[in-house]
A and B are shown apart, each in its own frame.
Chain A
Amino acid sequence: MSNPGELRVPVLPSGTRRRLVHGGFIAIALLYVGILVIAPLIGIAWAVFQAGWSTIVSTLRQPDVQHAFYLTGVITVITVIVTSIFGVIVALVIARDRFPGRALMSALVDLPLAVSPVIVGLMAVVLFGLGGWFEPWFTSQGIRILFALPSMVLVTIFICIPFVIREVVPVLQEVGITEEEAARTLGASSLQTFFRVTLKNIRWGLLYGIALTTARSIGEIGAVLIVSGQITGQTETATLYVLRAFDQFQDDPGFVVALTLALVSIVLLVLIETFKRRQERMQRT
């Protein structure tokens, strides 16, 4: 490669200059993520270390904390099941079907990304709260939606809807229908084709979407805060526990639970990266 630097009488040899610019850019990038992302992680690890081992043990042994983790788990499992099953159906329709209203469907899928979680919680209040559209019927049936598990699951599903769909649609579009057609020609039924061919093709994309859904529903706070009523030991999730701990100036237990959540999400992140790589490898071959 010829060097335009020579035309302008460079102060430094071009190789040195290039290395300096590259090195500078890399240093700025590393410094930025270091200050913005890594430093806070070190901060919380340090705070928990300061709190000491006995605080960690006593916090994790609290029945409230254990119930909070349990509730977060229940909400996450239900959300993952619902958004995966219906997500694959919606993805199939968006990728494979053509009909008026398909664009509207895509817009509806993206809508939760644009809505603040607080607004999602408000939606549930407007529908199921006092004076809400569905409130009279559910009250007459004696079913409790608001300030109970159903509304907490509903808002989490709303927020997590896009993840599976947005990962599966491009995979479906890229693998095309050749294999499915071959299976059908060879006599497989629709269901057989779906489970043996389609599902196998989208598996990494689907797992990727599920991992994103899990991470998001574990961490959800704004929507759940509004609909849960924050009843300790009943409708308090892990994130709600952390919020209450800080409201009541119980910083140390708050730090411990928050660090636990951070560690869980970093494990999930490693899974996410693995699925992403698998899927990319599959697309390349």
Chain B
Amino acid sequence: MKRKLLWIIGGIAVIIIIANQLDIGPYRPRFPIAQRTGVPYPYMTVEEENLFAEIRDIGLKRDLSRIDKVRHALLENHPAILIAASLALGRLGTKEAIDDLHALQARLASGSEVQPFIALALARIEAERDYPNVTDENQLQRKMKRFLQAAKVSVSQIHKGALWYAEQLKAKRYGWAPFEVQVLRQAAEIAADAYQRGVKDAFKIVGLNFSLDYVAQLKVRLAQMSKEQRISWLVDILSKKQVARMEENYLMQALADEGEGASKAIIAKLKEMKLDRDKYHYVGFMLLFRTLTCIGDPDAIPVIQSFSNEPDWLGYYAEQAIKIMKEGRRTVRAVDY
């Protein structure tokens, strides 16, 4: 009897191991997923919020001369700053940050939501370190494989994760996108970089389906446009919005990441919209105002101010944005974009 029981248990274990290896079965997230209504992150001081925006910029611009600022930010306590700093170090891709990230990993609780982002950064560093400037498909193929290996996730798990997350969003169960989805977004970014360097089939390599995640898909789409096209498309789409859901945060962030050019385009658009006020919903104005708080261009203040006496929500949101800008704050609309 005992022997039979042992055989059964052993058999089940073997089946589970094989299923794991073959990626058969349901979605098994690498990191715990919090689907709950949690205590909000502490409100940031002006300095914290500007640091938050700055370190994100450093990562996006691959500005290695300011890496010390990012490394120093790992000593902060605010989870959003730690997430931004981890992602920035991943983008910078230098091995000197690895020890800092391991130290942060050890400092934080095992259940901290920052942990998946640290793992993500470590994987990205490995990929960037081995293949910093991808110029052909083979290199991209190897870089992607290296990245997924370091992240310890398979393509199948990524797709399952993305589908699962889409279901959660549909059911309005909000939380951080799971690790697998964050990997997909970073992979989209790596592919987008390669595309910009002339790898035409960059988005078809490795077999990742970027369309499963809104943010990854957005990155792919924008990568295939020129800067002017991106700004024009994003300004146009945001101005026409009538409701601000979670996705709009990524659109605002994508537009803000275009920098000064985006600011000028938004200012011009707002002036145009003011002349044709009835054609636009107040939410379109609000999204452009909030994007301007992301860029932090002082030239935008008088333009936004010109809306502050407007009735109802339009005046309300104009004043809200002016208050943020006058405090000298730069905001981040989507840290995981």
- A complexed with B: no
B-contacting residues of A (Cβ < 8 Å)? none
Q: B residues touching A (Cβ–Cβ < 8 Å)?
A: none
